[in-house]
Amino acid sequence: MNTKMKGKRSWLNRFNSETLFFVTVLAIFIFASTPAVFALTGADAVILNVVRVDYTDASGNQNFSAEAAAMVTVSLVEAGVTISGRPTLADPGTGATIPAEQTVASGITASYLYAITSSANGDDEYYLDVAIDAWANAANRSVTTQLLTPDELGVIANNPGSVTLEASVIIDATAPATLFFPGGTLTGLAAGQVLVVDGVDYLVDSVTAGSSASHTYADGFAHSDDLGTLTAETRVQVVLAANPSGANVPPAFDATFVGMSAYEQVLFRVQVSAEADTAGIDGTVDVDVRTATDVAFTANLVDLQDVTTTYTAVNLTIQKLVRNVTTGGGFAATANGVTTNVLEYQVTITNNAGDAANVVVTDDVPDYTTLVVSGGNFASYTGPSGSGTITSITGAENLPDGVSGEHTGTAAGVPLVFYVGQGQDGAAGTGGVVLNGQTFVITYQVSIN
């Protein structure tokens, strides 16, 4: 009896010692493996460990089994996004340089197209802030933003405050286009979005959702003679295709892609508008483009500072000279004449910078004179595309960058109105566009009363 009890206790002690050793080794293994698992596994993946014990009663005739489980969810490791230019065949993925700063005409909207790509190991929300932080000689300033579809044709959101980007780590690949990810990851991924894999951007063709593994006894309680219920993991399956609006490279996946990360990429357009409000002096607007993983913009901050847009100021000049046609001589600021002498006025419009729009020149028949009208023509002009005569309203209709004009009489004080430049329409009373470097010369004659 004593011998049997001693043997039984020895067996129990050995069992407890071996069990403790096993649990200790398992715990050390899990602890030591954690950093590697978190580095190579997508966020929200579930690590499920199920342990089972089989035993009998003292008679050896009654068999029992029990299970218990522990579950670990892989945490998100946040990281700042990568901001680049729109991907191309030459510069796929995140390889394109960000758009260069622009110089545009006053009043024109400058558009900057960026690609924002996740760098985390799972889906994360990235806050967006685009604001004007400095300007000079610029009025009516504004900045707007849009999240766009990969082809730029669709608007996902106007002036978004944040964007959620998906990411995970590849656990299997089937040639040529299918990738597998841990169940429960990439929950926001859908067809039509873009994933960057190994430096190349691909269009998502289809997504088959997956689910994490689970066990009814991953509850922290002790269990006896009960095996519980195990639900196996269903992996996420993603089929990719070439991105025709980006790298346009067809996928060719194989086992070498296992362990690589897949990052979602979205196009982000920033539009900046302003008007140079001082003639001859260009206006500038500086914009900051920032992203972060917190609303305070302190965590994982990515900041494109002082993206400067220059608005070319219009510098249109007008000059008026006169000459005495009857007595001869050249154009000058002054002239002499007597009754019945014919005077000719020369009005020169020159645009030295920018593009001047809605250009309308207004003059009057001078005092003590009468407007000279010949054959219905009351003025003539020379412009970039040639020269012509001006009749009331209908002049120069055959020239796209010509001049038309109108008058209501010939007496002193009668207004003379000229509509100048591309797109001018005298009949509608609207001036045209005089481009940078263009010059128009208008002449008309009067006789001294």
Q: Which tens digit of pLDDT belongs to each residue from 58-94?
A: 999 999 999 999 999 999 999 999 999 999 999 999 9
Distances (CA, A) of 360 to 169, 205, 354: 64, 56, 17
Alpha-carbon gap, residue 113 to 152, rounded angstroms: 9
Report residue 157 as tokens: 């959101």
Task: Give the other-Cβ count within 10 Å of 126's Cβ.
Answer: 23
CA distance 215 to 52: 13
Cα 446 to Cα 403: distance, rounded to the nearest angstrom: 20
Kindly tell me if the per-residue pLDDT of 445 is higher than 60. Answer: yes
pLDDT by residue (tens digit) across 125-135? 999 999 999 99
Q: What is the pLDDT of residues 241-259, one digit of tens each?
A: 999 999 999 999 999 999 9
Domain with CATH 2.60.40.740 in the chain: 316-448
| pLDDT tens-digit series, residues 323-337 | 999 999 899 999 999
What pLDDT sits at residue 393?
55
Nearest to 240, CA basis, from 191, 199, 169, 198: 191
Give Rg (Cα) of the chain.
Answer: 40
* Cβ-proximal residues to 18 (8 Å cutoff; 6+ apart), any chain: none
C-beta atoms surrounding 381 within 10 Å: 25
- The per-residue pLDDT for range 423-435, each reduced to its tens digit, is 888 888 889 999 9
Q: What is the CATH number of domain 316-448?
A: 2.60.40.740
Residue range 408-419: mean pLDDT, rounded: 92
Residue indicated by tokens 């069992």? 15
In this structure, what are the phi and psi dihedrals at residue 226, rounded to the nearest 5 degrees? -150, 125
At residue 203, the pLDDT reads 98
Please give the C-alpha separations between residue 367 and each of 56, 323, 347, 396, 445, in angstroms, as whole numbers.
126, 16, 17, 28, 13
CA distance 167 to 119: 8
| Sign of the CA dihedral with 76 first, then 207, 292, and 89 last | positive
Residue 411 CA to its chain's centroid (Å): 60
Three-point CA angle 226, 229, 231, nearest 5°: 160
Quick one: pLDDT band at residue 347, thresholds 50, 70, 90? very high
Q: Are 349 and 435 in contact (CB under 8 A)?
A: no
The pLDDT score that the predictor gives to residue 270 is 98
Q: How many CB atoms lie within 10 A of CB 123?
A: 21
- CA 416 to chain centroid: 49
pLDDT of residue 33: 36
Q: Where are the alpha helices (DSSP H) in 304-443?
A: none
> What pLDDT, on the 0 to 100 scale, is given for residue 400?
62
CB 116 within 8 A of CB 94: no
Q: Per this entry, what is the length of the chain?
A: 449
Does residue 166 register a pLDDT over 80? Answer: yes
pLDDT of 119 over the 90 cut: yes
Residue 319: is its pLDDT beyond 60?
A: yes
Amino acid in position 425: D
- Is residue 208 within 8 Å of residue 189, measured between CB atoms? no
Which residue type occupies 420?
A: V
- Which band of pLDDT confidence, cut at 50, 70 and 90, is reported for residue 11? very low
The per-residue pLDDT for range 260-287, each reduced to its tens digit, is: 999 999 999 999 999 999 988 999 999 9
Q: What is the pLDDT of residues 168-180, one digit of tens each?
A: 999 999 999 999 9
Gap between the Cα atoms of 44 and 35, Å rounded = 15
Peptide bond into 176 cis (omega under 30): yes
Contact 22, 41 (CB under 8 A): no
